[in-house]
Structure 1
Amino acid sequence: MEGPPMLKRVWSALMVAGLLAPGACYQDDTSTTGNRKPVAQVLLTDAPFPYDSVQHVNIYVDRIEANTSPDTSGGGQWVLIAQPRQVFDLLTLQQGGTAFLGQNELAAGQYSSIRMVIRADLSAIRWNDGSSAQIQWPSPGTGEITLYAIVEQPLAVSSSGAVIVIDFDLGRSFLYNYYGTKEFTLVPWLRAVNSAATGTLRGTVTSSYSGQSQPIPNANVTLFVGDPNAFPSSWYVAVTGRSDATGFYKVAYVPAGTYIVRVEQPDYPFLAPSITPAATITAGDTTIVPVSLVQAGGGGAYVRISGPTTVGVGGSIVLFAAVGDNSGNPVQNPSVSWTSRSPAVADVFGSGDTATVTGHAVGSATIVATSGTLADSITIQVTGAPSSVATVAVQPASANLAVGDTLTFSAVLRDSAGNVLTGHAVSWFSTDSSFAIVNNYGTAIVGRGMRAGSALLQATSEGKTGQSSITVH
């Protein structure tokens, strides 16, 4: 396989349905009606995959399991939801299409942990020429691999059932050549939600930069949680999507709430990203947000950089720069100089409007593109080799709050050697309604004292949990 594939963003979802609906065909002849449990059905769906050079993403799904405890480091009481034990090609499932994985009974309760067990030895990514891509799997690297989903709120399964959706973000999970090894590295990003509490965001991405409106394919659609008036670096990615060849996008199974929606076509740096500061998602409904990308610079001269913002040590990424003249029109074949303010962390080699950034050490580096008197910059995060989470600590470890007060808590993840880890998914829980999580930023949250009482704030990553003791007075 020659050269890296074109990278775009994608997500896919596993839908786990604990549902006993009127007229359902399930029947248990061995138990009475009073003892019957809801039936758990598992469906698999996928959005467009971000690698144009890939023909198949075959994942062998062995089983899906649930647990009522967020801390499963001691094993816990895992309950089987489905056990398909077969390969599914995620590229055959597009825009909400589903594949049936299996079904089982699921007892009513609050489920705080969901995991998917896959088989690495029976899974494969295949290039368009039919050859197999190399994959760096998480620990143990072969055989069964356990992937844990983010569960932001315990998933309630009542006696009448529930629908649980596991969203597998493939674009963030499978990273190509991230560490310079010309292989895919799996850094799993999954989340689990109750489908009844979710809605859909959809729309069409267009632009009139050519003089007439036309669809913009392969645009990244990202839903953030955060304050739209704060720095974007403080926003937390909630859900992602991507526009198709007609510019249409659809992001399903979005928890009800208000989100910042950012749309960008990274291959077109001359188009400014569109930001919708408050898109409200209502459970069971569809929110339509059409997007028109305008030219960068606001009608004046500009330099603008686009491209990925993270890379592993030893890996390389490509950045693009657009230059606009005094009227805001893109300059063809512009003269651009590229520099790194921290070359020991990441250096940059540029030729005109394109540059390659290579990561050398864990940290951050600011990359600057200059053309004439104008410049733009972008911060690149360089990460180390992926490691499994061994411990989770919540800081501060304890807190005393007055009713109405808020406080920020952070989760510190470490591997077995004590090294601090980044880039791992974290789930947060409050064990009592006296303390509520009001903003979730991934590895940090803002919580508020709601009434007098005590609660434990728990942070879980890959089955490991840390907690903070909170007293509200």
Structure 2
Amino acid sequence: MLSKKLSFVPIAVIFALSILIVGCGESDSGVGVSSETGILEVQMHDAPANYEEVNIFVKSVEVNNADTDTGWVIINEPQQKYDLLELTNGATTVLGSKELEAGTYEQIRLIVTQAQSSIVVDGKSHDLFIPSGPQTGVKLSVNAEIKPDITYTLLLDFDAARSVVERGNEKSGVRYLLKPVISASNQAETGNIAGSIEPVDANPFVYAIADSDTLSSTKADTSDGSFKLIGLEEGTYTVSVDPTNDTYQASDTSGVEVTIDETNELGTIQLSRN
């Protein structure tokens, strides 16, 4: 059995995220002079976490094709709250899409509003404190190459388990902090793994592991045991099933191949009782 399931190293390099205060007066222009355009679509999904809800309120989604902190272009202004824990097991949400001039866009950022972001633990809602201010920009490098007449789908993996930090300082009135950890990949260059777990009441977490690193994770559906691991680079993986019900034994399936733009259907993985 593999023992490093909680050591997440996502497909794309996990970027150290810079928290930027909103309102710096960046221009929405200056993205180049090319008349050729393509579409950038931004989708988001999440790895599982041991909370009931992790809600973030996304004010806007922006991209930048400059080396400096200028030239930001608004992709969308969803003004919407997203429960990250609803975006597991293959589920995604579209944060926005926009026709852009062809070229390489090096950065993306989500403007997240602290006042409407929260976490639910044991039935109780808590505010998520964002250390740098009430409205922040979560920025990361992506190098998305937009080509004429082609839709580029950027897949953001928002890791809720690593992004929420419990401060444990009751005197300050702040218990939970949001320090976003996100990885990004070009959906067109990834594939998926799917299957189901029996018995369903094993309630397992499922991990895709390569070279001892966990590159994707999810929790099997509690109604039918189905699971889907998405956004994986082409290669060979071990699918590791870790039941939360101690009645059942963990299981590893090695040699699972991932091919770009395809889903490897594993069928049913039957767990043994202890």
Answer yes or no: same fold by TM over 0.5.
yes
SS at match of 1:84: coil
Among 221, 226, 238, which residue is 2:206 paired with? 221
Of 35, 43, 61, which aligns to 1:64?
61
RMSD: 3.3
1:132 aligned counterpart, secondary structure: strand
Distance in 2 (CA, whole Å) between partners of 1:100 and 1:109 is 22
Corresponding position: 1:116 with 2:110: yes
Amino acid corresponding to residue 160 of structure 1 in structure 2: D
Distance 1:266 1:135, change over 3 A: same
CA distance in 1: counterparts of 2:254 and 2:169, whole angstroms: 36
Contact 2:111 2:135 in 1 (8 A): yes
Deviation at 1:285? 0.9
1:159 counterpart SS class: coil
- Equivalent residue runs for 1:429-440 within 5 Å: none
Task: Give 1:195's aligned residue.
Answer: 187
- Segments of structure 2 that go 5 or more residues without pairing to the other structure are 1-5, 7-33
Residue 194 (structure 1) shift: 0.9
Q: Is the 8 A contact 2:61 2:109 kept in 1?
A: yes
Q: List per-residue Cα deviations over 1:157-180 (Å, max 9, x = no partner).
A: 2112211111112233225x4757
Query: Could you say which residue in structure 2 is the equivalent of 1:204?
Result: 196
Counterparts in 2 of 1:62 and 1:134: CA distance versus 1, 3 Å: closer
Alpha-carbon distance change, 169 to 263 in structure 1, aligned in 2, over 3 angstroms: same
- Give per-residue Cα distances to partners, 1:322-350, cap 9 Å, x unaligned: xxxxxxxx6xxxxxxxxxxxxxxxxxxxx
Match of 1:282 in 2: 259
CA distance in 2, matches of 1:178, 1:282: 41
What runs of 5+ residues in structure 1 fail to find an aligned partner? 1-7, 9-33, 207-213, 227-234, 296-329, 331-473
For the 8 Å contact 1:113–1:149, the answer to whether it is kept is: yes
Compute the displacement of 1:287 (Å). 0.8
Relative to structure 1, is the Cα distance of residues 158 and 86 closer, same or farther in structure 2, using a 3 angstrom cutoff?
Answer: same
In structure 2, distance between residues paired with 1:287 and 1:178: 40
Distance in 2 of aligned mates of 1:117 and 1:217: 38
Q: 2:78 aligns with which of 72, 77, 84?
A: 84
Equivalence for 1:366: none
Query: What is residue 239 of structure 1 aligned with on the other side?
Result: 216
Q: Distance in 2 between matches of 1:149 and 1:143?
A: 19
Shift of 1:123: 1.6
Q: Secondary structure of the residue that 1:171 maps to in structure 2?
A: helix
Residues 148, 190 of structure 1: 8 Å contact kept: no
Q: 2:97 aligns with which of 99, 103, 106?
A: 103
**1:132 equivalent in alignment to 2:125:** yes
Give the C-alpha shift of residue 91 in structure 1.
Answer: 5.0
Partner Cα distance (1:160, 1:257) in 2: 29
Note if contact 1:150-1:190 (Cα within 8 Å) is conserved in structure 2: no
Could you tell me which residue of structure 1 aligns to residue 160 of structure 2? 170
| Deviation (angstroms), 1:248 | 1.3
State the SS of the aligned residue for 1:40: strand
Aligned match of 2:147: 158
| Number of corresponding residues | 236
Question: Distance in 1 between the 2:45 and 2:136 partners?
Answer: 20
Q: Give the deviation of 1:205 after TM superposition.
A: 1.8
Matched residue of 1:283: which SS? Answer: coil
SS state at 1:163 partner:
strand
Secondary structure (helix, strand or coil) at the match of 1:172 reads helix
Given that 2:47 and 2:160 are in contact with CA atoms closer than 8 Å, whether structure 1 keeps it comes out as no
Q: Relative to 1, partners in 2 of residues 1:119 and 1:157: Cα closer, same or farther, differing over 3 Å?
A: same
Q: Could you say which structure has the greater relative contact order, defined with CA pairs below 8 angstroms and 6 or more residues apart?
A: 2
State, as a whole percentage, how many aligned pairs show the same letter. 27
Counterpart of 1:35?
Answer: 35
Q: Give 3-state SS (helix, strand or coil) of 2:208's partner.
A: strand
